């Protein structure tokens, strides 16, 4: 039987406000912040709850997910020590 949908699971796992978003065929199917589950403002820690929420809401398993992406706050740096491609933008220093 051919696969019916393409799923992408996006995770915010860095620092506080852990969250997940499940895309189905490029559109948001489900999204949740961990604080909505734990009732702890700016919830941190492991992200199993938010993954499980999205997968259970769509009635799929992790094996059904085609791509998993997560955020990364580490900026790429060029050979001069500047944030690559971002220098001069608001809030981004010209030298790290």
List domains and CATH numbers for the chain. 1-96 (3.30.420.40)
Burial 61-88 (b: 16+ CB within 10 A, else e): eeeebeeeeeeeeeeeeeeeebbeeeee
Q: For the segment 53-90, what is each residue's pLDDT rounded down to a tens digit?
A: 899 999 999 999 999 998 866 666 666 666 555 544 44
What predicted TM-score, i.e. pTM, was given to this entire model?
A: 0.67
Closest alpha carbon to 27 in 11, 6, 12 = 6
Does 31 have pLDDT greater than 70? yes
């Amino acid at each position: 039987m051919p696969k019916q949908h393409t799923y992408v699971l996006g995770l915010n796992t860095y620092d506080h406000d852990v969250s997940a978003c499940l895309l189905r065929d490029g559109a948001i199917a489900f999204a949740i912040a961990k604080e909505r589950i734990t009732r702890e403002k700016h919830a941190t820690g492991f992200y199993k709850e938010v993954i499980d929420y999205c997968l259970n809401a769509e009635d799929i398993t992790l094996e059904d997910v085609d791509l998993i992406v997560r955020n990364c706050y580490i900026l790429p740096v060029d050979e001069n020590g500047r944030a690559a491609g971002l220098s001069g933008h608001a809030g981004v220093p010209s030298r790290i």
